[in-house]
Structure formats: structure tokens, C-alpha cells
Amino acid sequence: MTIRSIDWARDGAGILNLDTSYRTDRIYAVRSGPLGIWLVEQILGQPVLNHYDASGFEQDCARADHALVFESANGAICGFATVRLERWNRSAMLSAIFVAPSFRGTGIGRVLLGEINRLLQATPARCLRAETQNTNYPAIGFYRALGFSLCGLDWDLYDPDTAGTETALIFTRPVVRKNAG
């Protein structure tokens, strides 16, 4: 297996054909009060299957400061990730990370984020942010397991005509720097 920079001419078809779906039997319902917002785990009556629209992947890869692909020994695309630097506040935004369903749970997502962190060490970025829907229970668990903390939400990020009532959850974690010793 190989992790390398994305070459859209070489990798585009594989990225566009990547299964971006996720299945979940639970979500985090967003609740709010006068001075607080909290998430409540909610078990669904039956599992739901959601998927991401791949139509923006090429543009996302083109705009990324770092775009990585994880390729199997036989050349199949197992996953990819993109990150954009936000120089004005010295942060980085994980704009995409996807792993093929047959490779989820094998550590590919962790390896992609590790390589992104390594690349960010050469930049002024102080933190890495990620965004996902309150309905993407698997992604929330992934981010939390890798040291991300919930730092905010956006009720209006998604178009209600296509995303229903989903709420964007924003996570962050510090860029881990090499020990200077």
C-alpha cells in the first residue's frame, strides 16, 4: 500500500468511483437552551444509509494545499484526504477524508491524518479542523478517537433542500509538532 499526492489525471476516476456512503443506526441530535448547545445520542428506529456527492471532489483536490491518496498494492484507491491552509488564523481545514467501506477500520484514515499532520508541521498551522454532519455517527467517533474535540456547530451550513435538517459539527485538534529535543 502507498500513500502519495493525488494526481487527478491518474487518480480522478478512482476517487470519483469511491463508495462514500456510510450506514448508521444512531445520530447525535442537537439540543439548545438559552446559553448552551449539547448533543444527545439518539438510536434510530432503523439504520439509514447516506452518501456524499462526489461532484465537488475534483475542485476540492485542485484547491487543496495537500491532497493525498491511499493506494492498494494492485493500484486501487482505498481512500483520500485533502486539507486547505487558512493562513489568516494559522489553521488547516480537513476538506475531505474518505475511506472505501472494505478498508474502514484498518487504520487507513489514521494513516492519512498522520501524513497530513506530518505535512502541516512544515507550515505555521497550529490546529487541524474537520466538519461532519450530526448524522454521521461513524465519522464523529473517528474524529474523537483521533484526538479531535467538538468546538462548534453550524445550523445553516447545509442546504435544507438537499440535507434536510442536518447540522454541521466542527471538530479541532492541535497540529502535533516534532519534539525539539
Query: 33: domain CATH number?
Result: 3.40.630.30
CB 153 within 8 A of CB 119: no
| Residues near 149 by beta carbon (within 8 Å), at least 6 away in sequence | 171, 172, 173
Query: What was the pLDDT predicted at 162?
Result: 82
| Mean per-residue pLDDT over the chain, rounded | 94
User: Per the domain annotation, does 34 fall within a domain?
Assistant: yes
Q: Are strands 2-5 and 66-71 parallel, antiparallel or unpaired?
A: antiparallel
For residue 152, what are the β-bridge partners? 170
Q: Is residue 181 part of a domain?
A: no
Whether the CB-CB separation of 147 and 173 falls below 8 Å is answered with: yes
Window from 35-44, 105-114, 148-157, 158-167 with minimum mean pLDDT: 158-167
| Whole-number pLDDT of residue 121 | 96
Express each pLDDT in 51-83 by its tens digit. 999 999 999 999 999 999 999 999 999 999 999
Asked if pLDDT for residue 119 goes beyond 70, the answer is yes
Percent of the chain with pLDDT over 70: 98
Residue 93 counted as domain residue: yes
What pLDDT does residue 87 have? 94
Residue with cell 438559552: 34
pLDDT at 130 over 60: yes
| 180 within some domain | no
> If you count them, how many residues does the chain have?
181
All three cell numbers of 127? 490546529
158 within some domain: yes
Provide the domain count of the chain. 1
Res. 181: pLDDT tops 60: no
Please, are residues 135 and 21 in contact by the beta-carbon 8 Å criterion? no
Q: Over range 4-22, report the average pLDDT.
A: 96
> Is 179 part of a structural domain of the chain?
no
Closest residue by Cα to residue 105 from 52, 50, 142, 149: 142
The residue with greater pLDDT, 1 or 134, is 134
On whether residue 88 sits in a domain, the answer given is yes
Distance between alpha carbon 92 and the CA centroid of its chain, in Å? 12
What grid cell was written down for 151? 468546538
Residue numbers of the domain that contains 144:
2-174
pLDDT value of residue 21: 95
| Rounded percentage of the chain residues whose pLDDT exceeds 90 | 90
Q: What is the mean pLDDT of residues 155-167?
A: 87
Q: What is the pLDDT of residue 151?
A: 95
pTM of the model: 0.92
How many other β-carbons are positioned within 10 Å of the β-carbon of residue 5? 12
